[in-house]
């Protein structure tokens, strides 16, 4: 059995990860730090600060006898490319399965967010992943243009103050609206906290709305060789 250190920005993500990995022979140890999301709104906040804090936490989790680290916050995951290089164990971002999927097909995507602070970093990771999968500059431009971001306004503050029901309802409605407005595009709930709403919206809209949980277990099977109980 391997130990996965799970790095969260909000306590609500713990239950989601516990549920999806319950069938597997893994020990999950959770580390929660909501501070960076709160500080992100400050006038003196900098990307250097978040990189340093994430790097320190990754090093700490690795020292706590973890075999791998799963970073479930898209704000934290946005700086992984550089910081994960300094960690001696595998570090996986919650959006890694999505990035892999984007590289493997040519569909048009809309990535939906509730936290405005995570949009820029996530879309930068998407652009980089798409460019890695292309072979020339012209193809790079085309790949980047087929993936857009959409913010569902007035929702993130609901989950931050513990209004899970209000957040669920608002995000579900927002995802259904995006699906109705752009039926030719694939809608993705980009943040882990949106996963339950994505499931409900998929059922209500009659079309699949992807979430970070949809392919996480299979991705971890491939990357960490975890096995079912």
At 142 the pLDDT is 53
Q: What is the pLDDT of residue 218?
A: 94
> Do 8 and 27 lie in a common domain?
yes
Q: Do 86 and 104 belong to one domain?
A: no
Q: Give mean pLDDT in consecutive 10-residue pieces for the chain, a chain of 229 residues.
A: 94 94 97 81 74 91 96 84 84 91 86 91 87 55 75 92 93 96 94 95 94 92 93
Residue 118 and residue 189 in one domain: yes
**Residue 226 burial (CB count, 10 A):** 19
Residue 137: the pLDDT is: 46
Structural domain range at position 126:
97-205
Query: What is the Cα–Cα distance from 172 to 49, expressed in whole angstroms?
Result: 33
Identify whether residues 108 and 62 lie together within a single domain. no
Among candidate residues 17, 2, 109, the one with its CA nearest the CA of residue 71: 17
Torsion of CA 141, 108, 13, 162, to 10 degrees: 100
Judge if 86 and 139 occupy the same domain: no
DSSP-assigned beta bridge partners for residue 29: 5
The reply to whether 138 and 163 lie within a common domain is: yes
Give the closest residue to 79 by CA, choosing from 35, 122, 129: 122
Per the structure block, which two tokens stand in for 43?
């006038």
In this structure, are 86 and 140 located in the same domain?
no
Residue 151 belongs to a domain:
yes
């Amino acid at each position: 059995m391997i130990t996965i250190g799970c790095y969260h920005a909000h306590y609500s993500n713990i239950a989601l990860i516990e549920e999806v990995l319950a069938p597997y022979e893994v020990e999950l140890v959770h580390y929660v730090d909501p501070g960076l999301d709160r500080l992100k709104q400050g006038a003196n906040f900098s990307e250097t600060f978040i990189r340093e804090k994430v790097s320190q936490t990754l090093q700490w989790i690795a020292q706590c006898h973890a075999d791998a680290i799963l970073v479930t916050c898209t704000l934290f995951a946005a700086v992984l490319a550089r910081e994960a290089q300094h960690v001696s164990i595998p570090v996986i971002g919650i959006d890694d399965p999505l990035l892999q999927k984007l590289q493997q097909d040519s569909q048009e995507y809309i990535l939906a967010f509730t936290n405005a602070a995570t949009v820029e970093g996530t879309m930068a990771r998407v652009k980089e992943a798409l460019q890695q999968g292309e072979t020339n500059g012209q193809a790079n431009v085309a790949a980047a243009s087929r993936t857009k971001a959409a913010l569902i306004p007035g929702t993130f503050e609901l989950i931050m103050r513990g209004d899970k029901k209000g957040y669920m309802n608002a995000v579900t409605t927002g995802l259904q609206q995006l699906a109705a407005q752009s039926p030719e595009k694939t809608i993705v709930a980009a943040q882990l906290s949106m996963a339950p709403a994505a499931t409900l919206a998929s059922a209500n809209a009659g079309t699949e709305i992807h979430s970070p949980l949809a392919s996480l277990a299979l991705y971890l099977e491939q990357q960490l060789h975890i096995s079912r109980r």
